Chains A and B, each alone.
Chain A
């Protein structure tokens, strides 16, 4: 077998075998989590996100790291990454890592470009809305996260949505805002403040990228992704109410935001009937009885996910690259047997 073919074989093995198996196992865990009596629709959102994203990201991270370590197995992790003597031996993993990084960069730039394309309102109506929004943000303690981050836009049919990866901002459509009372607008902003606080646009992008690299996984996991997103919206509704938003004005704002159909963005959540019914039902219930704060929410999920990613990256340095070596030698033996 030509040595040049091995990197392609390794990549194909990871993409066509490892990632689908990982997605299948993740699906099994998610089904158990979602059906488990103790886990409600809004529970374990952080864990579910880590599973959905990690099912693709972790095997890929291991593959890249193992590729680099296989090239320079006797060196330290730092040397593997930076000060190797023979740059050529790291070409193959670096090539795939660059492809991956290029894809991530493109997606990142596209998301950033989409946000920058949203025109900030300059008209008199837009200025009036900006002043109104500023006043609401200053007045409501629940909206402290949004200080300096709420912009009025005159984009046609725009309602209320959060955009921006590192510094998320909330955009409010001028036409939409004129139909809302202050209570509705405040509640809607309180919902978006939860997305801003959790950097949800970035989370959504990472999830989207992870699934884009795993077509079989995307097919297997798409219902769980849809449920996670719906639950995330309902979670933001609940958190907004816990931070002082009024449930009924928020419900009103959600239904009004669902009316104009806007391409590419699900303003204030979603257009799906079942999701809307669930969220409105919850808010009606919250109007009667305040929701209870859950202790085990998402705060630990991102640090845990990053720690897991680091552990996976360092794993080949500690345990070696035997799976890749086994794949390499098995492929060679199989081809030798078939050809000769």
Chain B
């Protein structure tokens, strides 16, 4: 998965355009494990006026970006999310951190006032490592 980070955005929208983020929020929020474009459209139509083709194009783009897995079901595709919202946000955080190495953000991180890591800080870091190991072993 490769993404461009979007300036001034937070959370899911840091890596996704508005409609992409809206669709992923619907998928994660409604816990849709397997869905067709029409399922998402039905939810979105209650919130705004939107065309089927727009949703179809955006869902296809999410599939190309690696966020959705799809399989053929007769004449249509059925989609399912590849990552949970939490996994996606963690992957985003890692991308931000890794990207920071080629930019001034890491310098900004290191500019913070020196503070000795507490036991709680170290516990948090150990938990992150453990979680990453579990993800990779899956």
Contact = CB atoms under 8 A, between A and B. Distances in A.
Are A and B genuine complex partners?
Answer: yes
A20 B65 CA distance: 53
Interface string A267-288: 0000111111110111011011
* 4 residue pairs, one from A and one from B, having the closest CB atoms: A41-B106, A281-B97, A285-B98, A273-B117
Q: Is the interface of B mostly helix, strand, loop or mixed?
A: helix
Contacts of B93: 281
A248 B125 CA distance: 11
Interface in A313-338: none
Interface of B: 93-95, 97-98, 100-104, 106-107, 109-112, 114-119, 121-122, 125-126, 128-129, 132-133, 136
B113 to A, nearest CB: 8
Contacts of B112: 274
Given A282-B97, A284-B94, A272 B115 contact: yes
A278 B132 contact: no
Q: Is the interface of A mostly helix, strand, loop or mixed?
A: helix
Contacts of B128: 280, 284
A88 interface: no
Nearest to B91: A288
Contacts of B132: 248, 284, 287
A230 B110 contact: yes
Contacts of A273: 115-118, 121
B106 A284 contact: no
Which one of B97, B109, B115, B117 has the highest number of Cβ atoms from chain A below 10 Å of its Cβ? B117
A278 B121 CA distance: 13
B110 A275 contact: yes
